[in-house]
Structure 1
């Protein structure tokens, strides 16, 4: 199996960052942080560019662009605009796929339109930006490589009731990202980091989350999805979760510390503990079916 992220990554002093979903939350904090760094360039994107007014105008290192990751035309236009802005020296060093969307509720109640909208944003949007970014990075004359952060979630490793399509999208992103990372030629020095935070204090619930119409068969309070809803709502009232600014600082640290980039990065104690527990449970499950799995062969 082709190894990934072989060499330590060194962030160029004049690195160009492309960040999706910069209107609020994690994306906004990353864009704000990079804009504050001398000589670092930021291409900040949002579906509505008016949501990027928090970034100053008139700075040649800051480019604000409209970008809807669900639209092929919009993605192509954003990459074209960035290349035109920075001219023949255009390069991408760090890409943060942060644009997000969640569809929550009873799986049986989801409509075809709701399902497709969720997958378009979470999975296909990530694919579009990733593949175009790789093309820019590997074609750079200076062979300076690059780093792609995929903002996944604990939901990309562990599945919980009432979020089937969000999990499907994040699981797909993680599988896609690992596979593509293993396709990279070592000389390209293109690195991937799949970031898996647990709760983050953003307005994601009201801004980028859709709820499926409740299904009558799942309304009882003892249903797993209803129990989880109560737990999550209680956590939100208590202000549980990490600050998006702290996550932004972690990403910059990973990019600039001149060490090997981790392929997977669970963030937060909850994410680390639940992820570790899942794999420990899987190992036990594998042992329980070892004789069956062997199909008469030696394991």
Structure 2
């Protein structure tokens, strides 16, 4: 029996070996290298020069760090709850669909496959202040649309609305969670005289709270690392001077500029570790708060 266990163990390690190699070479290795580089002055070509904590001190003196971080946090605060609420509403609608449910699930999920670069270009097509589809539609009903791409107050809301294009993955997760809610709980709630809203709050939300918490974590991390859509729309075009670059300066965009435009690899590495710490702290806070709101079946309360 021991020999069988040993053989199974060796087989298990053999199966996970590709992942371990990939993790070491593509994740752990680059993280260690970036941590070392964060204490140096390195341009990607010449030799490295040790500068101690100068890069980290510069983070607190660089106004673009605070601007880009604030833009990112505002974008995250807008996008995450809005995307989760809309995805849950769509999932509940799909739950009521009997015929063609597979077709609608596919339709909602297909935008997830759209490249982020295309979404950035789509932003310019939809939200152009003069000829954009959104403002044309608003004019049709007598509303003057804002300057989405030049007014700093509307840049982030416009990008948030554009990224909602690809919330199909969250919809699928919520739909699966909703299908696992025991129907007898709704029947018991109805017998107690509870209405639809009361059943939603006291039955649906607690039963799918695990899925809500998972998507909260994933969407928050993704939003804090947003890059492609903003860079494509505001920095990847030839006429970037016509756009409000300050309002679209997200943290990872600024990190990318420091690393590959100005070749400040050491400073960019320090920027990346600051973002890692911010994401870590926010995730830990969310995990701590989840103990009050997340219900797991079979867990003692």
Q: Which bracket does the TM-score occupy, shorter chain normalised?
A: under 0.3
Compare CA radii of gyration and give the structure with the larger one: 2
- Structure with greater helix share of residues: 2
Question: Normalising to structure 2: TM-score of the pair?
Answer: 0.25
- Structure with greater strand share of residues: 1
Question: Normalising to structure 1: TM-score of the pair?
Answer: 0.26
